[in-house]
């Protein structure tokens, strides 16, 4: 197995992933499956991109982003950050992530110095702001000047009569700290031209098998800081999506791979391809 150093892992899939699913409940469940896969394999960012220029996909993009953001938010913060709305009618079937930033215990006595927590600002206070971190009482963040309902990542620095915390960047947290969600409203072309990706890997059943490219991919993977795994739609793969943008997919990605070269079904759903691909990459690179 090729041992990697920690790097940023990003995956992107199209808005039309839910287009062939008629009911809101099934759409919700499908995105729940994808979000769960992302958390299992420590994906740092999920990008949902528009892939059909003939259809206004804004509604589907917003739906998917809402469900993924809801999943990623710790349970104790959801009531503060999400209003009751029709899109979340079936939020109860979204699987729990059970990542380190979704603690099951919230009592002050369960906290330890050095722990990290997600919190949301509930009110202004003398000297700072009060933040809900899922414990009995909100904690005071000294010197912070942020708006109510702002979400913060915090580190416990002192325990006692009062809990002292400090604001940190989530990138500083040593454990996997969930994923962020980005919506790409324009096109796959914009995504492929993003200079922050050192390595872009597309997936297609018409591509080179993963095994045949593993050695050269490992060499590129070792040098990359930010990797993008790119997935197509249920009925239109990356070749078709790129063609709509007048792109040759081979010219715009570093590798185009078939991660299920011996599939026993005629088609593989996007959510299935995501789980399988992340699992294969995990075995190969050990993230």
What would the pLDDT profile of 81-101 be if each residue is shown by its tens digit? 999 999 999 999 999 999 999
Q: What is the dihedral of CA 65, 66, 72, 76, to 10 degrees?
A: 170
- Indicate if the pLDDT at residue 287 is higher than 80: no
179: which residues sit within 8 A by CB, 6+ positions away?
A: 35, 38, 39, 43, 44, 45, 46, 68, 72
Q: What is the structure's pLDDT at 80?
A: 94
Average pLDDT over residues 2-13: 76
pTM for this one?
Answer: 0.93
Q: Which CATH number fits domain 8-98+178-285: 3.40.1280.10, 3.40.1190.20, 1.10.10.10, 3.30.565.40?
A: 3.40.1280.10
Distances (CA, A) of 282 to 18, 42, 45, 114, 194: 26, 10, 16, 28, 24
Distances (CA, A) of 191 to 4, 13, 149: 25, 11, 30
DSSP-based helix, strand, coil % in the chain, nearest 5: 35, 25, 40
CA 272 to CA 231: how far, in whole Å? 11
- Confidence band of 107 (pLDDT split at 50, 70, 90): confident
Residue spans per domain, the chain = 8-98+178-285, 108-172
Among positive and negative, which fits the CA dihedral 114, 116, 117, 120? positive
- Confidence band of 129 (pLDDT split at 50, 70, 90): very high
CA 13 to CA 32: how far, in whole Å? 14
> Tell me, which fold does domain 108-172 have in CATH?
OB fold (Dihydrolipoamide Acetyltransferase, E2P) (2.40.50)
- Confidence band of 136 (pLDDT split at 50, 70, 90): confident
Distances (CA, A) of 81 to 44, 66, 70, 257: 21, 11, 9, 39
- Confidence band of 220 (pLDDT split at 50, 70, 90): very high
């Amino acid at each position: 197995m090729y041992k990697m150093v920690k790097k940023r892992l990003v995956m992107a899939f199209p808005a039309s992933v839910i287009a062939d699913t008629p009911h809101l409940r099934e759409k919700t469940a499908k995105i729940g499956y994808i979000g769960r896969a992302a958390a299992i394999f420590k994906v740092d960012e999920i990008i949902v991109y528009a892939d059909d220029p003939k259809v206004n996909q804004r509604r589907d993009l917003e739906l998917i982003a809402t469900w993924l953001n809801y999943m990623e938010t710790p349970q104790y913060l959801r009531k503060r950050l999400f209003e009751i709305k029709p899109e979340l009618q079936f939020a109860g079937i979204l699987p729990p992530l059970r990542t380190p930033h979704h603690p099951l215990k919230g009592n002050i006595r369960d906290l330890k110095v050095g722990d990290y927590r997600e919190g949301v600002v509930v009110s202004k206070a003398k000297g700072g702001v009060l933040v809900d971190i899922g414990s009995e009482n909100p904690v005071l963040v000294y010197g912070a000047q942020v708006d109510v309902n702002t979400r913060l990542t915090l580190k416990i620095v002192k325990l006692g009569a009062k809990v002292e915390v400090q604001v940190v960047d989530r990138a500083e947290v040593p454990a996997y700290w969930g994923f962020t969600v980005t919506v790409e409203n324009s096109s796959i072309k914009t995504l492929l031209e993003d200079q922050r990706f050192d390595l872009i890997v597309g997936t297609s059943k018409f591509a080179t098998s993963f095994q045949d490219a593993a050695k050269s991919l490992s060499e590129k993977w070792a040098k990359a800081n930010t990797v993008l795994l790119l997935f197509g739609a249920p009925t239109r793969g990356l070749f078709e999506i790129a063609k709509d943008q007048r792109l040759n997919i081979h010219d715009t990605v570093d590798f185009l791979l078939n991660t299920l070269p011996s599939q026993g079904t005629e088609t593989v759903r996007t959510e299935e391809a995501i789980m399988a691909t992340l699992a294969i990459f995990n075995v190969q690179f050990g993230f």
